[in-house]
Structure 1
Amino acid sequence: MKFIKQFLIILGFSYLGEVMKLILPLPIPASIYGMALLFAALLMGIIKYTDVKETGIFLIEIMPVMFIPAGVGLLTSWENLKPILLPVCIITVVTIVTVMLSTGWVSQRIIRKTGKKDE
């Protein structure tokens, strides 16, 4: 029952994200709204970390499996992707490098600000 409760909490916030997507005319995916709401609820203490911990860990562990349908979808769209392959590859590489650099920079700033260092 614990896992069902945790999953329903996460699912509820996902549903709230879908509702927000319908209400707000911004180009933000519903899943982002849901994650932001769950994060806010965790920060404000409305939801305790232990209320979603195990199910959250499980969902993160199975995340790679969720990319298989997207990969198969790319294979079935090969004819459409073939003419624009070079620009897509360049954009992908630039995006990956940008995300890695910005994540590293933000992490370093947070570590320096809090004074915590892993030794």
Structure 2
Amino acid sequence: MLNGFLALLLCQLLGEWVVLATSIPVPGPVVGMVILLVWLIFKKRMPDSVRGVSEGLLRYLALLYVPAGVGLMLHLHTISLYWLPILISLFVSTFITMVVTVLILKVMNKKLNKNGAR
């Protein structure tokens, strides 16, 4: 379990370093998740230690919404000034996510049908 936690933290640290070195406008933990994804793709399997730690963290994911909710209440006045751009960006990003998901599912479905899987 400690090895899995160390792997997750190392990926996050590498992501922070990449962001600092390149000044890209993406949070370090997001870059760390991409690094973890690439590592898992090359490894071609999920190590049990990483799986255990990930499942343990996912159990408590709902607790991470509490600080976000407090932030919303703290900055309610600022949000009320920009409610229309926020609403538009939420709808546009949700729509784009849905379209990309459908396109990926279509491509994957074609590949599965081509390989003879059902």
TM-score by length of 1: 0.82
- Cα distance in 1, alignment partners of residues 27 and 47 from structure 2: 24
- Cα distance in 1, alignment partners of residues 59 and 106 from structure 2: 26
- Cα distance in 2, alignment partners of residues 19 and 47 from structure 1: 26
Sequence identity percentage: 24
Instruction: Look up the match of 1:50.
Output: 48
- Cα distance in 1, alignment partners of residues 25 and 83 from structure 2: 26
TM-score by length of 2: 0.83
RMSD over equivalenced CA pairs, Å: 2.0
- How far did residue 46 of structure 1 move? 8.9
Cα distance per residue 1:41-89 (max 9 Å; x no partner): 1122298532311111222332222122111101111111112112211
Give the SS at the match of 2:23: coil
Instruction: Look up the match of 1:23.
Output: 21
Which stretches in structure 1 are left out of the alignment for 5+ residues?
none
The AA in structure 1 aligned to 2:85 is P
Q: Answer 1 or 2: higher relative contact order, Cα 8 Å, separation at least 6.
A: 2
Task: Report how many residues are paired.
Answer: 115
- Cα distance in 1, alignment partners of residues 21 and 45 from structure 2: 24
Report the more deviating stretch, 99-108 or 6-15. Answer: 99-108
